[in-house]
Structure 1
């Protein structure tokens, strides 16, 4: 599980830099200001998740189910949260109706929040 968290963190970090660069340059000419701001929110939260996964990957032992869930909830939550924002940002450009993805974004956010809550529980259980 440690490797999964670290690889996911590294991939999310790399992709957020790539997508952020595209957002800052190439997508400025095709996305509205509002859609570009949404896209940048997805990129920002993906980078937060990348750093989070790297930290938990290095510091947790993943001995318990809750520790494993800390990583899986963040991985899945980020995929749902940022991924749905990216797709929704481009729906007008593609001429597609992707509004059905709207409820996916807060679900992803909920998984991310649950990951933070489980990390808090894990940290509080650590005996120094």
Structure 2
């Protein structure tokens, strides 16, 4: 994707520099980056096009649990489980080390016309339980 964007950008520059009539005022094609916190977006003035956007948690996985567990504890089949508190007195999105903070194994990666990647992570029993 980045390669095709680079080729498109270079083609646009060549068109602007070589392909316009002298009667039409020349304009410069540029790429502009806007940043706020952990969010960044790149935009070009050629067609007012968004080229890319990045944010730290865009698409991040949460786990073992997505959402908030009040009091950082729950009871399952009569057994009480205590969890790490990472949101005041509650546990949210998997505790202190949710699935977005572990290293996943790349099982398969395919480029080409239909690229994809398969990732794998084994979450061991009671991984986010607070012991003690």
TM norm structure 2: 0.26
Q: Which has the higher helix share?
A: 1
Higher relative contact order (CA 8 A, sep 6+): 1
Q: Which has the higher strand share?
A: 2
